[in-house]
Amino acid sequence: MSTLKIGVILGSTRPGRNGKVVADWVLAQAAGRPAAEYELIDLADYPLPHLDEPVGAKAGPSQYSKDHTKAWAGRIAEYDGYVFVTPEYNHSTSGVLKNAIDFLYDEWTNKAAGFVSYGAVGGARAIEHLRGVLSELQVAHVQQQLSFSVFTDFANFADFTPAELHAGSAQLLFDQLESWAGALRVIREAALSSAA
């Protein structure tokens, strides 16, 4: 099986966001893994408006009418799985991440996801909301997650200083994610073969 492609989705575009250093840390932890290549997908590079497609994403990619949707769909379709790096805003994920997810359907389906969050309570509630959203999109999300507290993993609430235990947890997350991403790629390939 060829190397898996995993997108690390930076789910905040807020000025001064903490998410960039968290996403960079995730990429550093994933560097050199033999089964998968991890790449950053920064939502700041995909300035999607509030969902503006006239037809719902379940209708399929042929119904996408906007260039920004087609560009976003093309990028997301490249990957076998994702690590969502999310802040917690008001007991949920960021609006920009939820909006980016809602633009697509087929591009997410039968892929795998892991979660990394940060916030006052580690961003755990953001992850719980994302689990429900991604289940509807038929994304298999792994059990292991990473939650960083702004009180203990950030010095002065700004400088990212994660506890050492998170490095081992990250490797477990990657192990689970790559296992599911590989299995689901087989399912997607079989579906394409039977449709041909």
Per-residue pLDDT tens digits for 71-122 = 999 999 999 999 999 999 999 999 999 999 999 999 999 999 999 999 999 9
Task: Give pLDDT, residue 1.
Answer: 61
As a whole number of angstroms, the distance between CA 152 and CA 59 comes to 44
**25, 34 contact by CB (below 8 A):** no
Q: What is the pTM of this model?
A: 0.96
Query: Measuring CA to CA, how many Å separate 195 from each of 40, 78, 104, 186, 189?
Result: 32, 20, 21, 14, 10
Answer yes or no: are the C-beta atoms of 132 and 106 closer than 8 Å: no
Q: Answer whether residue 137 shows pLDDT above 80.
A: yes
Q: Please report the domains of the chain, with CATH numbers, ordered by start residue.
A: 4-195 (3.40.50.360)
Residue 2, pLDDT above cutoff 90: no
d(CA 57, CA 187): 21
Mean pLDDT of the chain: 95
DSSP-derived secondary structure for 32-67: T-TTEEEEEEEGGGS---S---SS-GGG-GGG---H
Q: What is the mean pLDDT of the segment spanning 41-61?
A: 96
Tell me the three state secondary structure of residue 129: helix
> Could you report the per-residue pLDDT of 10-46, keeping only the tens digit for each?
999 999 999 999 999 999 999 999 999 999 999 999 9
Please state, as a whole number, how many other Cβ atoms lie within 10 Å of the Cβ of residue 59: 13
Distance of alpha carbon 185 from alpha carbon 116, whole angstroms = 22
Residue 196 has pLDDT above 80, yes or no: no
Task: Please give the pLDDT value at position 113.
Answer: 98
For the stretch 155-193, pLDDT in tens is 988 899 999 999 999 999 999 999 999 999 999 999 887
